[in-house]
Protein backbone atom coordinates (compact mmCIF):
# COMPACT_ATOMS: atom_id res chain seq x y z
CA UNK A 1 0.00 0.00 0.00
CA UNK A 2 1.43 3.39 -0.96
CA UNK A 3 1.52 6.33 1.43
CA UNK A 4 -0.88 8.27 -0.81
CA UNK A 5 -3.82 6.18 0.43
CA UNK A 6 -2.51 5.99 3.96
CA UNK A 7 -4.33 7.85 6.70
CA UNK A 8 -2.08 6.66 9.52
CA UNK A 9 0.01 3.56 10.12
CA UNK A 10 2.00 2.15 13.03
CA UNK A 11 5.33 0.80 11.84
CA UNK A 12 7.93 -1.28 13.67
CA UNK A 13 11.03 -3.29 12.91
CA UNK A 14 10.11 -6.95 12.30
CA UNK A 15 10.64 -9.30 15.25
CA UNK A 16 12.76 -11.73 13.23
CA UNK A 17 15.13 -8.88 12.29
CA UNK A 18 15.38 -7.76 15.90
CA UNK A 19 15.99 -11.28 17.21
CA UNK A 20 18.70 -11.86 14.59
CA UNK A 21 20.38 -8.62 15.72
CA UNK A 22 20.11 -9.67 19.39
CA UNK A 23 21.71 -13.00 18.48
CA UNK A 24 24.57 -11.26 16.64
CA UNK A 25 25.11 -8.82 19.51
CA UNK A 26 25.08 -11.59 22.09
CA UNK A 27 27.42 -13.86 20.13
CA UNK A 28 29.86 -11.02 19.53
CA UNK A 29 29.81 -9.98 23.18
CA UNK A 30 30.44 -13.56 24.30
CA UNK A 31 33.25 -14.07 21.78
CA UNK A 32 34.95 -10.87 22.92
CA UNK A 33 34.12 -11.06 26.64
CA UNK A 34 34.69 -14.75 27.36
CA UNK A 35 38.46 -14.72 26.69
CA UNK A 36 38.77 -11.71 29.02
CA UNK A 37 36.94 -13.58 31.78
CA UNK A 38 38.60 -17.01 31.55
CA UNK A 39 42.18 -16.56 30.33
CA UNK A 40 44.95 -14.10 30.90
CA UNK A 41 45.66 -12.09 27.76
CA UNK A 42 48.24 -9.41 27.14
CA UNK A 43 47.02 -5.84 27.51
CA UNK A 44 46.89 -5.10 23.75
CA UNK A 45 44.77 -8.15 23.06
CA UNK A 46 42.64 -7.22 26.08
CA UNK A 47 42.20 -3.71 24.68
CA UNK A 48 41.04 -5.08 21.32
CA UNK A 49 38.66 -7.54 23.00
CA UNK A 50 37.27 -4.77 25.26
CA UNK A 51 36.70 -2.55 22.23
CA UNK A 52 34.90 -5.41 20.45
CA UNK A 53 32.81 -6.12 23.55
CA UNK A 54 31.85 -2.43 23.79
CA UNK A 55 30.82 -2.31 20.13
CA UNK A 56 28.62 -5.38 20.49
CA UNK A 57 27.11 -3.96 23.70
CA UNK A 58 26.29 -0.72 21.86
CA UNK A 59 24.73 -2.77 19.04
CA UNK A 60 22.64 -4.62 21.64
CA UNK A 61 21.40 -1.32 23.15
CA UNK A 62 20.61 0.03 19.65
CA UNK A 63 18.58 -3.09 18.92
CA UNK A 64 16.69 -2.73 22.22
CA UNK A 65 15.90 0.90 21.35
CA UNK A 66 14.58 -0.21 17.95
CA UNK A 67 12.36 -2.78 19.63
CA UNK A 68 10.89 -0.16 21.98
CA UNK A 69 10.29 2.41 19.22
CA UNK A 70 7.12 2.75 17.18
CA UNK A 71 6.85 4.94 14.09
CA UNK A 72 3.49 6.48 13.25
CA UNK A 73 3.30 7.63 9.65
CA UNK A 74 0.52 10.12 9.10
CA UNK A 75 -0.45 12.46 6.28
CA UNK A 76 1.20 15.45 8.03
CA UNK A 77 3.84 13.90 10.29
CA UNK A 78 6.16 11.04 11.09
CA UNK A 79 5.98 10.54 14.84
CA UNK A 80 8.72 8.54 16.54
CA UNK A 81 7.33 7.17 19.80
CA UNK A 82 9.88 5.58 22.10
CA UNK A 83 12.85 6.34 24.34
CA UNK A 84 14.27 8.79 21.78
CA UNK A 85 11.04 10.18 20.36
CA UNK A 86 10.64 13.09 17.98
CA UNK A 87 8.32 14.42 15.31
CA UNK A 88 8.93 15.24 11.65
CA UNK A 89 6.41 17.67 10.20
CA UNK A 90 6.24 17.08 6.45
CA UNK A 91 5.30 20.70 5.64
CA UNK A 92 8.43 21.88 7.54
CA UNK A 93 10.82 19.26 6.11
CA UNK A 94 14.29 20.76 5.85
CA UNK A 95 16.54 17.67 5.66
CA UNK A 96 16.29 14.50 3.63
CA UNK A 97 18.94 12.01 2.63
CA UNK A 98 18.47 8.50 1.24
CA UNK A 99 21.66 6.44 1.41
CA UNK A 100 22.47 2.98 0.07
CA UNK A 101 25.00 0.80 1.88
CA UNK A 102 26.27 -2.07 -0.22
CA UNK A 103 27.40 -5.36 1.28
CA UNK A 104 28.78 -6.74 -1.99
CA UNK A 105 31.19 -5.36 -4.56
CA UNK A 106 28.62 -5.64 -7.34
CA UNK A 107 26.12 -3.67 -5.19
CA UNK A 108 23.62 -6.54 -5.40
CA UNK A 109 23.17 -6.70 -1.63
CA UNK A 110 22.76 -4.07 1.02
CA UNK A 111 20.28 -1.78 2.70
CA UNK A 112 18.96 1.76 2.48
CA UNK A 113 18.78 4.37 5.20
CA UNK A 114 16.50 7.39 5.18
CA UNK A 115 17.41 10.44 7.26
CA UNK A 116 14.75 13.15 7.60
CA UNK A 117 14.16 16.14 9.84
CA UNK A 118 11.99 19.19 10.08
CA UNK A 119 12.74 22.69 11.34
CA UNK A 120 13.56 22.60 15.05
CA UNK A 121 13.39 18.81 15.37
CA UNK A 122 15.90 16.01 15.72
CA UNK A 123 16.88 13.84 12.79
CA UNK A 124 15.09 10.56 12.29
CA UNK A 125 16.99 7.66 10.75
CA UNK A 126 15.21 4.52 9.59
CA UNK A 127 16.53 1.71 7.46
CA UNK A 128 14.97 -0.54 4.90
CA UNK A 129 14.38 -3.33 7.46
CA UNK A 130 11.56 -1.21 8.96
CA UNK A 131 8.10 -2.39 7.96
CA UNK A 132 6.62 0.37 5.80
CA UNK A 133 10.00 1.83 4.84
CA UNK A 134 8.87 2.39 1.24
CA UNK A 135 5.80 4.30 2.46
CA UNK A 136 7.93 6.59 4.62
CA UNK A 137 10.37 7.25 1.76
CA UNK A 138 7.50 7.92 -0.64
CA UNK A 139 5.86 10.36 1.81
CA UNK A 140 9.18 12.12 2.51
CA UNK A 141 9.82 12.49 -1.24
CA UNK A 142 6.39 14.07 -1.76
CA UNK A 143 7.07 16.45 1.12
CA UNK A 144 10.49 17.34 -0.33
CA UNK A 145 8.81 18.20 -3.63
CA UNK A 146 6.09 20.23 -1.90
CA UNK A 147 8.58 22.38 0.05
CA UNK A 148 11.10 22.50 -2.85
CA UNK A 149 13.83 20.90 -0.73
CA UNK A 150 16.99 20.44 -2.81
CA UNK A 151 18.18 16.83 -2.75
CA UNK A 152 21.63 15.47 -3.48
CA UNK A 153 22.28 13.53 -6.66
CA UNK A 154 22.88 10.38 -4.57
CA UNK A 155 19.51 10.77 -2.85
CA UNK A 156 17.74 11.33 -6.18
CA UNK A 157 19.47 8.26 -7.67
CA UNK A 158 18.47 6.12 -4.68
CA UNK A 159 14.88 7.38 -4.93
CA UNK A 160 14.84 6.50 -8.65
CA UNK A 161 16.07 2.99 -7.83
CA UNK A 162 12.93 2.64 -5.66
CA UNK A 163 10.72 4.00 -8.46
CA UNK A 164 10.11 7.30 -6.63
CA UNK A 165 10.55 10.68 -8.29
CA UNK A 166 10.48 14.12 -6.67
CA UNK A 167 8.51 16.81 -8.47
CA UNK A 168 10.80 19.51 -9.85
CA UNK A 169 13.96 17.45 -9.43
CA UNK A 170 13.82 15.13 -12.41
CA UNK A 171 17.04 14.57 -14.28
CA UNK A 172 17.47 16.02 -17.75
CA UNK A 173 17.90 13.19 -20.22
Domain ranges of the chain: 15-68, 70-161
| Contact by Cβ (8 Å): 83, 65 | yes
pLDDT of 59-73, one tens digit each?
999 999 999 999 999
Report pTM. 0.82
Q: 148 to each of 97, 123, 136, 140, how far by Cα in Å?
A: 14, 19, 18, 12
Q: How far apart are CA 81 and CA 10, in angstroms?
A: 10
Q: Which CA distances in Å does 36 have to 22, 26, 33, 57, 106?
A: 21, 15, 5, 15, 38
Give the integer Cα–Cα distance in Å for 165 and 173. 14
- Convert the pLDDT of each residue in 107-138 to its tens digit: 778 899 999 999 988 999 999 999 999 999 99
Amino acid sequence: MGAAGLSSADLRYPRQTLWADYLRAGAGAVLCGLPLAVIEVNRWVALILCAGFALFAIFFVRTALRQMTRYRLGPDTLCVDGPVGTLVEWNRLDRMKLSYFSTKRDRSGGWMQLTVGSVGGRLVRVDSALEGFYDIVERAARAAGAVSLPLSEATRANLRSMGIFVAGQEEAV
